[in-house]
Amino acid sequence: MVVFWFRRDLRIEDNQGLYKALSGTLKVIPIFIYDISIIDKLNKTDARLDYIEIALGRLDIAMQRNQCTVGRYHGSPEAIFKKLIADWPIEKVVCNTDYEPYARSRDQKIGELLKSHGIGFEQYKDQVLFEKSEVIKDDGSPYKVFTPYSRKWKSLLGTQPLIHYPSEAHLEQLSKVSLPKLTLREIGFTKSTLKQPQVILNNEVIDRYEATRNFPALDKTSRVGTALRFGTVSVRKLIKSAACRPNLTFLNELIWREFFMQIIWHFPHTTEKSFKPQYDRIEWRNNPDEFQAWCQGNTGYPLVDAGMRQLNATGFMHNRIRMVAGSFLCKHLLIDWRWGEAYFAAKLFDFELSSNVGNWQWVAGCGVDAAPYFRIFNPSEQIKKFDKNHDYIQQWVPEYQEMSYPKPIVEHKFARKRCLEVYKEAVATP
């Protein structure tokens, strides 16, 4: 038998690892593991687990003609695989590659366990088009700046076809064995009240993405981030759709995702430390009261507060506002970017470690971005540019013109001057 381990690839169609597992002569057992190293850190009403359960249900529906369902297990992957090895004559385990530091460590342990029992372990590229060191400089080193990475990425895209892996056409290889079907309630979680995200992606969204993406009141972003995070959509299919359109701004966003993915592969320390080490010398103020005001959307800066309230209420925040809110936390309040990164990680439906870390280091000025640290967004000017009629602010901060709305937590000019002084001292320190 072959075990196919669903992870960040919760779909039947165009799933490379699943296709490889189903292409042989052996019957395939599909499984999913609620990994306690991950889910034990989550709130018991985390809406992303609802998303996973719904996605697993869709897999079951696709497989039902073959009298198969995805086995749901709860525990440590090591313990689960020890049980599977004891219960079934497994010849190999197949999955798609995950590039995050914890996943790499986990998969190494699983590979060693399987090898000790004479069982093969195969991993395939599925959540990105180019992985690891496939897009590198001519001297073999990884790119640290997006623009040249993007140029090389696009040049490579033009040299090879976008392969579709027809996993959906080989479901007859699924095993009909009875597998456990744990529910979230059975492992201690309850249904969230948050509405599940719906992908809004068509040619019009792609073509007009550059013109509309910066205006939060228009709500013209694709909401595809969650689907990419959990693999309910094929990245190859998205890239194929975006690459053939006249405007490539949407494609560039997909490339940014892969850029950050390869950064975390080559520089895994960046999940905890600044890419530019001198920025770890910044003397953060880390005022807990100011952090709470930011988290709750009570800073007195309407655009920042609107974004935080949208995040808390929906699990989503518009991309432009993520930059404004993130910059405000790090630059205006001098609160460590890691605090903000952790808060977004706990709240965002589309949380993906590499992109979250990469974007937070971008707004803090300590990451791979080539721009100088003295780029500081003025929240009031951002309103004039991207929400001049206050439509977005009115939606999330209806009291922003009333006496009950808090006064600005800090004055912009003062905060900017303080930030520049603190950053300059950190960078200048030998």
pLDDT tens per residue across span 91-125: 999 999 999 999 999 999 999 999 999 999 999 99
* Secondary structure (3-state) at 429: coil
Non-local CB neighbours of 367 within 8 Å, separated by 6+ positions: 270, 274, 275, 276, 358, 360, 361
pLDDT at 185: 96
Calculate what percentage of the chain has a pLDDT beyond 90: 94
Non-local CB neighbours of 136 within 8 Å, separated by 6+ positions: 142, 143, 152
The dihedral built from the CA positions of residue 195, 196, 202 and 204, taken in this order, carries a sign that is positive
pLDDT at 160: 85
Which domains are seen in the chain, by residue range? Answer: 1-126 (3.40.50.620), 127-163+198-266 (1.25.40.80), 271-424 (1.10.579.10)
Cα gap 200→220, rounded to integer Å: 8
- Determine the length of the chain: 430
Residues designated catalytic: 253, 256, 284, 319, 337, 360
pLDDT exceeds 90 at position 282: yes
pLDDT tens per residue across span 382-397: 999 999 999 999 999 9
> The whole model's pTM is what?
0.96
**Stretch 123-143: mean pLDDT:** 97
Measured CA angle at 135 (ends 145, 100), to 5 deg: 80
Question: Is the CB of residue 150 less than 8 Å from the CB of residue 252?
Answer: yes
Cα gap 192→312, rounded to integer Å: 13
How many other C-beta atoms lie within 10 A of the C-beta of residue 30?
A: 25
Give residue 25's pLDDT band: very low, low, confident or very high (50, 70, 90). Answer: very high
